[in-house]
């Protein structure tokens, strides 16, 4: 006889996919950083510590990896803090998407559908975090406390977006 799929299995499946996303973001950021260093140094000089530190100081690399680390930490915490960090990361994605739309605008229908796609996915995941009982049980969240936790998550998401903007502007001033 087959075992029935439980809410715990669904929750772990969703969180496994999110963990793969975090690892993928880190791999992508490392390859981007390697490309950045490759444009300045040859193979032997690229791996020297001062050159790596210079590259970290003057590139906008690892911003996504730092933000995805918040998600990664939240995936392993089975309490309210984990839930807040995961939901805050989704709000960070939405805030970043809105900022990008205001900065770059929507030029054609492809941009519109991409913006809609990248807005609806985090919004759907926030909805899932709030309505799916398996995730609430995993993090031991009571329904009465979700509003307060959502407001805290929105604040964390906005703070992450502000961190990204400040980091980018400080780097531009240094160059």
b/e code 124-138 from CB counts within 10 Å (16+ = b): ebbeebbeeebbbeb
* pLDDT at residue 110, as a whole number: 82
Alpha helix ranges (H) inside the chain: 7-38, 43-46, 49-57, 63-76, 80-104, 109-131, 133-139, 146-174
Answer yes or no: pTM beyond 0.75: yes
* pLDDT at residue 4, as a whole number: 77
* pLDDT at residue 107, as a whole number: 82
pLDDT < 70 positions in the chain:
1, 57, 60, 171-175
Q: Are 88 and 160 in contact (CB under 8 A)?
A: yes
d(C-alpha 45, C-alpha 39), whole Å: 11
Comparing CA positions, the residue from 72, 83, 97 lying closest to residue 148 is: 83
The tally of CA atoms less than 13 A away on the side-chain side of residue 40 is 16
* pLDDT at residue 152, as a whole number: 92
* pLDDT at residue 1, as a whole number: 63
* pLDDT at residue 173, as a whole number: 65
């Amino acid at each position: 006889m087959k075992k029935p799929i439980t809410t715990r299995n669904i929750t772990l499946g969703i969180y496994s996919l999110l963990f793969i996303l975090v690892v993928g973001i880190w791999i992508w950021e490392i390859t981007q950083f390697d490309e950045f260093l490759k444009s300045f140094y040859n193979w032997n000089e690229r791996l020297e510590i001062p050159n790596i530190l210079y590259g970290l100081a003057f590139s906008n690399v690892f911003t996504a990896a730092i933000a995805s680390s918040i998600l990664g930490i939240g995936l392993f915490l089975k309490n309210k803090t984990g839930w807040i960090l995961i939901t805050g990361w989704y709000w960070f994605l939405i805030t970043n998407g809105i900022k990008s739309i205001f900065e770059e605008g929507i030029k054609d229908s492809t941009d519109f559908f991409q913006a809609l796609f990248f807005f609806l996915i985090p919004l759907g995941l926030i909805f899932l975090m709030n309505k799916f009982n398996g995730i609430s049980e995993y993090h031991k969240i009571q329904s009465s406390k979700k509003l307060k936790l959502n407001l805290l998550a929105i604040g964390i998401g906005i703070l992450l977006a502000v961190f990204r903007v400040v980091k980018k502007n400080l780097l531009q001033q240094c160059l």
